[in-house]
């Protein structure tokens, strides 16, 4: 049958979804299943890997049922996944030997301390682009080998396999035929060398991880095997970690393009091209999605702990608004602020200040300041924090930035987007489709299937709104200086 669709499997931290896209890049149908979170101890977070697989198949079945689409009309599958979450399974039975350890899980902090004590910090930073942290997969894998009875012996006998969620899904969907991952996911494990694009023997040795457990790494848009669905073979042609998939979905395959996802926190990635470099201001270096027969680019990654969360704070703690969306009209209704800044350092200050003990502040309050001004300053803080991170990215990389592509809940706020463009002095580009992560995975899969070509992507990703800088340069400089001063006052010492 004629191929009319590409399906994205979007396996996230809290839900598992299947999304069908048509040739125009429009969403035809979405099915979603909530994923149960397990918190066995303080700081521990786990998922049931088997449930992830069955939910994924179920979600797929649901979209097919709802739409009446025949599996043979689907050109290919693209997988995008929560990154870093770690699964170890028995290669003979296909059964996980432990629950999946989720990226949020902090149990491996002592293993991280041990690696630091061994003096591996700078080697790991230079070669994996990451800092030693429990967030990444490597120490989670080591924990399973250390703690699950017989695990190390079984691993050494070649009976165990490791994978992030993408590898686990590929393995299950191909009935154990393929043990693979892609560049973007491999670059989040802390055991993959992003300079020479290979698992890093020195780190594996230091962490006592047998190489035989590790998946083969290949281009994000390439052949990852096939799902046999009721006798129809549907190829898996795209695989990428969620943030990199979003960058790809936003058209961020070229150097100089950045994306910011304005959610509870904000995730910023800037494609810095083919030259490897590491940040000396605390940002991560990671691999972008790769097309077949092409090397991946590097991207700098930075996050903002408190993004939309500060808008929730206005709503839930201060009762200043009923809904986040109200903030846009409120911001538009009052004149520009003079010297009022809300620094939402509710979880310390992140890049580039790195002050874990800082607490939030409001500075520049005068008698005429009311609730609307506080709301506006809180919204503007998202833009200032984004500029802080992007400034470091540009300084570290010597890159210039051509555009900021935006997505996530708070990107719906037109005042915020215009202010972002003004403060950055860069065009801000918001797509029509907000599911850019799934779209990125679909693009990867569609390109390999010759369903789309790379050039058609820009057309498929329709722009919904475009914000160009309107603020006078002097004003921009003055406002940002004011912000930096407010941050200085917020620091813990």
The site for ligand ADP (CB under 6 A) is made up of 263-264, 308-309, 311-312, 324-325, 327-328, 408-410, 412-413
Nearer to ligand ADP, 409 or 469 (CB): 409
Nearer to ligand ADP, 328 or 425 (CB): 328
Least distance from C-beta 264 to ligand ADP, angstroms?
3
Nearer to ligand ADP, 6 or 309 (CB): 309
Nearer to ligand ADP, 32 or 312 (CB): 312
Nearer to ligand ADP, 22 or 312 (CB): 312
Least distance from C-beta 14 to ligand ADP, angstroms?
8
Least distance from C-beta 111 to ligand ADP, angstroms?
28
Nearest Cα to 379, choosing from 324, 318, 450, 322?
A: 324
Nearer to ligand ADP, 204 or 433 (CB): 433
Least distance from C-beta 333 to ligand ADP, angstroms?
14
Do residues 370 and 345 make contact, with C-beta atoms less than 8 angstroms apart?
A: no
**Of all residues in this chain, which one has the CB nearest to ligand ADP in the complex?**
409
Least distance from C-beta 380 to ligand ADP, angstroms?
11
Least distance from C-beta 33 to ligand ADP, angstroms?
17
């Amino acid at each position: 049958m004629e191929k009319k669709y590409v399906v994205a499997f979007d396996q996230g931290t809290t839900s598992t979804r299947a999304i069908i896209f048509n040739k125009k890049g429009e969403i035809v149908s979405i099915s979603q299943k909530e994923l149960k979170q397990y918190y066995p101890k303080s700081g521990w977070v786990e998922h049931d890997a088997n449930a992830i697989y069955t939910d994924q198949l179920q979600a797929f079945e649901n979209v097919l049922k709802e739409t009446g689409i025949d599996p043979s009309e689907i050109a290919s599958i693209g997988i995008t996944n929560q990154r870093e979450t770690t699964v170890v399974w028995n290669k003979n039975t296909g059964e996980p030997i432990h629950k999946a350890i989720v990226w949020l899980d902090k149990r491996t902090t002592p293993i991280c301390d041990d690696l630091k004590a061994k003096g591996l910090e700078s080697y790991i930073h230079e070669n994996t682009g990451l800092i030693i942290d429990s967030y990444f997969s490597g120490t989670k894998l080591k924990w399973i080998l250390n703690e699950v009875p017989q695990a190390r012996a079984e691993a050494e006998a070649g009976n165990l396999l490791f994978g992030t969620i993408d590898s686990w899904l590929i393995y299950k969907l191909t009935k154990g035929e393929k043990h693979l991952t892609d560049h973007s996911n491999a670059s989040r494990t802390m055991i993959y060398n992003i300079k020479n694009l290979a698992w890093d023997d020195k780190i594996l040795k230091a962490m006592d991880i047998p190489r035989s457990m590790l998946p083969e790494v290949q281009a994000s848009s390439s052949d990852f095997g096939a799902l046999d669905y009721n006798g129809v073979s549907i190829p898996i042609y795209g695989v990428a970690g969620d943030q990199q998939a979003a960058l790809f979905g936003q058209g961020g395959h070229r150097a100089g393009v950045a994306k910011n996802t304005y959610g509870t926190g904000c995730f910023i990635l800037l494609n810095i091209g083919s030259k490897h470099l590491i940040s000396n201001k605390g940002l991560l270096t990671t691999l972008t999605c790769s097309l077949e027969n092409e090397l991946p680019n590097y991207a700098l990654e930075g996050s903002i702990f408190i993004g939309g969360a500060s808008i929730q704070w206005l709503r839930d703690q201060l009762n200043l608004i009923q809904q986040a969306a109200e903030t846009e009209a409120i911001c538009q209704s009052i004149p520009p602020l003079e010297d009022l800044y809300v620094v939402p350092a509710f979880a310390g200050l992140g890049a580039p200040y790195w002050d874990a003990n800082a607490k939030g502040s409001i500075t520049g309050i005068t008698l005429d300041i009311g609730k609307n001004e506080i709301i506006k300053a809180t919204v503007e803080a998202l833009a200032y924090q984004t500029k802080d991170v992007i400034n470091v990215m540009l300084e570290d990389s010597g890159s210039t930035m051509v555009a900021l592509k935006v997505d996530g809940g708070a990107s719906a706020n037109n005042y915020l987007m215009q202010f972002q463009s003004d403060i950055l002095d860069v065009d801000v580009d918001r797509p029509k489709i907000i599911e850019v992560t799934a779209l990125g995975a679909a693009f990867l899969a569609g390109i390999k299937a010759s369903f789309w070509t790379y050039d058609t992507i820009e057309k498929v990703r329709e722009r919904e709104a475009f914000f160009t800088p309107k603020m006078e340069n002097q004003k921009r400089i003055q406002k940002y200086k004011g912000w930096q001063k407010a941050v200085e006052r917020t620091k813990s010492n």
